Amino acid sequence: MTPLINPITLFFASIFTSNILLSNFLGTCSFISISKDWKSAFGLGMAVMVVMTITTAISWLVLTYVIMPLGLEYLSFIVFIVVIAAVVQILEMVIDRTSPALYLSLGIFLPLITVNCAILGAILFMQIRNYGFVQSVAFGAGSGAGWWLAMMLLSAIRERTDKSPVPAGLKGAGITMITIGFMAMAFIGFSGMIAVQ
Amino acid sequence: MSNSKTMTVLRANLWTNNPIFIQILGICSTLAVTNNLRNTLIMTVGVTLATGLSSMTLSALKDLIPRKVRMIIQVVVMSFYVILIDILLRAYLPDVSKQLGPYVGLIITNCILMGRAEAFAQANRPLLSLWDGLTSGLGYMAVLMAIAVVRELLGFGSLFGIRVMPQGFVTWTIMIMAPSAFFLVAMVMWWAKSIQARNTADAKPAAKEAGK
């Protein structure tokens, strides 16, 4: 059954109240390794947002019109991974042909995205929650935007913490995890705003 | 496979090169289930098996895979094992499978699998790679179980679903929610890195004295 959620509400809910990074822990790995400087964080965040929107849409189509009619649900993980890899590959080629400037800023992050858990995570959530097509696109775009937002906030904070006197054992990843924890607490404050799920 | 090599791998994966607090891999997919010990145990056993078996397979296949399509083949091999785990869970532990939801599928994109396949299985024989994958999984399991004990004990007042805290205990809601997992991981990192730093500091003067 498709749940009755307004796609626009869903979009904002997946940015703020159920941020895919801060409440579902998805994409933390690349988040920690890339968020060191603001510029590359911006690039990766944008790339994730674009790829996530496209892959959730395509996966929904594949799931509804190919996998379900053929009864191949047990193969869905492999199919989703192949969809993600293919979208990333095609997007890389398209960007390379059409806009070399964009390719320089975004292109290097694209291969990293294939193994970003947030992308597959968004698709799996979409499958489990039975979203309709428009809802899926809104969910994908919102989750991507939420990831980008969290990434931007964190990299800005991180430029300061890298220069601060942090206990030796906490330097690097440790203090970053604590920062994410505080940010997740701040985002819990949004949860009263929209009630979804 | 010599005995000393197996021990070195075991030691590295459990302590000196632990996937969580040193390599910082695979935090994503499993932290979400650490507010419940049983789910954490099942999830980390799944990650351990998937890492070991896919490392072994990829190490056996490493000369056959062309470099250009290596990544996608690695991912497909990993998905194969994760699908097996998913089907087994659905058949024998349906309630756990339901609670874990999408996180079982997310083992595929757990960075530990890819990391071990790239860093170890590419250069080592299948059996040693299997061992490396399994011990990486154990190192990962140890840390996450420790986190899950704290979260379930303080968040629900229970361990493995059995109530252990006294009647009047007020549960800490924050422990069930996401932020606590981030804080606890940071604590584990801090603890482990401080001990390791002290050990190397102790080792240095000793080495100097030995040199005299």
- Six-digit token string for A121: 């995570």
Share of residues in chain A with pLDDT > 90 (%):
10
Q: Is A86 on the interface with B (CB under 8 A)?
A: no
Q: Distance from A39 to chain B by nearest Cα, in Å?
A: 22
For B108, which of A77, A167, A188 is closest by C-beta distance?
Answer: A77
Tokens 């190397």 -> residue: B200
Q: Is the pLDDT of residue A91 over 60?
A: yes
User: Cα(B13)–Cα(B134) distance, rounded to whole angstroms?
Assistant: 9
For B186, which of A22, A128, A174 is closest by C-beta distance?
Answer: A174
Average pLDDT, chain A: 82
Res. B212 pLDDT band, cuts 50 70 90: very low
- Six-digit token string for B37: 């010990």
What is the number of structural domains in chain B?
1
Res. A58 pLDDT band, cuts 50 70 90: very high
Q: Is the pLDDT of residue B29 over 70?
A: no
Q: Is A56 on the interface with B (CB under 8 A)?
A: no
Quote the domain boundaries for residue B23. 3-211
Instruction: Note the pLDDT of residue B176.
Output: 78
Closest CA to B40 of B103, B120, B116, B83: B103
- Six-digit token string for B25: 């891999």
Classified as helix, coil or strand, A25 is: coil
Instruction: Note the pLDDT of residue B81.
Output: 92
For the stretch B77-132, pLDDT in tens is 888 999 999 999 989 988 888 888 788 888 887 778 888 887 888 888 888 888 88
Domain boundaries defined on chain A:
7-192
User: What is the average per-residue pLDDT within A136-154?
Assistant: 90
Instruction: Note the pLDDT of residue B30.
Output: 66
Q: Is the pLDDT of residue B70 over 70?
A: yes
| Pair A148, A119: CB distance under 8 Å | no
Q: Is the pLDDT of residue B59 over 80?
A: yes
User: Cα(A109)–Cα(B118) distance, rounded to whole angstroms?
Assistant: 19
Greater confidence (B30 vs A38) lies with: A38
* Cα B177 to chain centroid, rounded: 21
Any idea how long chain B is?
212
CA distance to A50, A133, A137, B74, per residue, from A76 (Å):
22, 17, 19, 17
Optimal mutation site among B39, B75, B184, interface A, most CBs of chain A within 10 A: B75
Instruction: Note the pLDDT of residue A59.
Output: 92
Q: What is the count of residue pairs from A and B with beta carbons less than 8 Å apart?
A: 136
Instruction: Note the pLDDT of residue A195.
Output: 60
Q: Would you call A28 and B109 a contact, using CB atoms and an 8 Å cutoff?
A: no
| Pair A144, A44: CB distance under 8 Å | no
Instruction: Note the pLDDT of residue A157.
Output: 86
Q: Would you call A178 and B182 a contact, using CB atoms and an 8 Å cutoff?
A: yes
Closest CA to A131 of A197, A87, A194, A73: A197
User: What is the average per-residue pLDDT within A134-159?
Assistant: 89
- Six-digit token string for A48: 């994730």
For the stretch B182-200, pLDDT in tens is 888 888 888 888 888 887 7
Q: Is B164 on the interface with A (CB under 8 A)?
A: no
Optimal mutation site among B35, B40, B79, interface A, most CBs of chain A within 10 A: B79
Instruction: Note the pLDDT of residue B204.
Output: 62
Q: Would you call B179 and A118 a contact, using CB atoms and an 8 Å cutoff?
A: no
